Amino acid sequence: MNRLFLSLICLISLTAAKAQIHEIGVFAGGSNFVGDVGPMTYLKPNEFAYGLIYKWNKSPRHSWRASITNVKITADDDKSKDERRKLRNYDFENTIKEVSLGLEFNFFDFNLHELERQVTPYVFLGLNYMHYNGMYVVDNGTSADTRKDSSHGTLSIPMAVGVKSNITPHLILGFEISPRYTFADDIDGSFPKNDDLKDFRFGNINSNDWYIVSGFTLTYTFGNKPCYCD
């Protein structure tokens, strides 16, 4: 009976140890905006983004992932290839602070207990809560001034494609490109939420703002390795 109980405890410990492999680390890279102001290039980082990442690897193929990221966003009509935007000459600067939770899926098995070099592409899909400054643009005909209205919180949908590899037994290096679709249209000041500012609205009112974050992740793995019972 005692041997059976010990075997059961060991089996539970083995399952838990295999499941509870954790990663914690950092992200650093670039960001760019896609909306009603500035260039319409989808991948052209022009500002800095950084953050912290935590992963709970539930299997060699998938993990739950949480992150906190600070993203600086700027755009300038003068750098657009659209002549209408260049003539308009609006610009803005904003900072987005986001908290994210989602699921990361590996195309190949990525077993953190294995010591040999592993490489896998992966995809990620999640949900963000983002905090930013609502903006509006005052255009007097000869010059434009982008101003802050008030701070807002809203949701966005982060998607990512990337590739990662274990560069040491405990360090994993990755690179990813992650577009964010937001439920906001005033990051650039084109559609202020305040009805008192509705006369300052411009651009495509049927298209919300996007921003893209791309860069490197470096995470440290930890957690109990499997045990073996006699």
For residue 33, which of 215, 216, 213, 206 has the smallest C-alpha distance? 213
CA 220-226-227 angle, to 5 degrees, is: 140
**Confidence band (pLDDT; 50, 70, 90) for 229?**
very low
Q: How far is CA 9 from CA 12, 17, 222, 227, in A?
A: 5, 12, 22, 11
**183 has pLDDT over 90:** yes
The pLDDT, as a whole number, for residue 3 is 59
**Which tens digit of pLDDT belongs to each residue from 98-129?**
999 999 999 999 988 888 899 999 999 999 99
Tell me 49's DSSP state.
E
**Confidence band (pLDDT; 50, 70, 90) for 95?**
very high
Predicted model pTM: 0.85
On whether the CB atoms of residues 134 and 182 are closer than 8 A, the answer is no
On whether the CB atoms of residues 155 and 127 are closer than 8 A, the answer is yes
Angstrom distance (rounded) from CA 222 to CA 224: 7
Task: Flag the least confident range among 36-50, 54-68, 142-156, 214-228.
Answer: 214-228
Share of the chain above pLDDT 90, in %: 72
Provide the strand spans (E) within the chain: 21-34, 47-57, 62-76, 91-106, 119-139, 144-166, 171-182, 210-222
Q: How many of the other CB atoms lie within 10 Å of CB of 223?
A: 16
Average pLDDT estimate for 74-99: 95
**Which tens digit of pLDDT belongs to each residue from 147-174?**
999 899 999 999 999 999 999 999 999 9
How confident is the prediction for the chain on average, in pLDDT? Answer: 89
Q: Which domains does the chain have, with CATH numbers?
A: 2-222 (2.40.160.20)
Average pLDDT estimate for 117-144: 93
The pLDDT, as a whole number, for residue 144 is 86
**Confidence band (pLDDT; 50, 70, 90) for 230?**
very low
**Which tens digit of pLDDT belongs to each residue from 1-32?**
455 445 544 543 444 444 458 999 999 999 99
The pLDDT, as a whole number, for residue 120 is 98
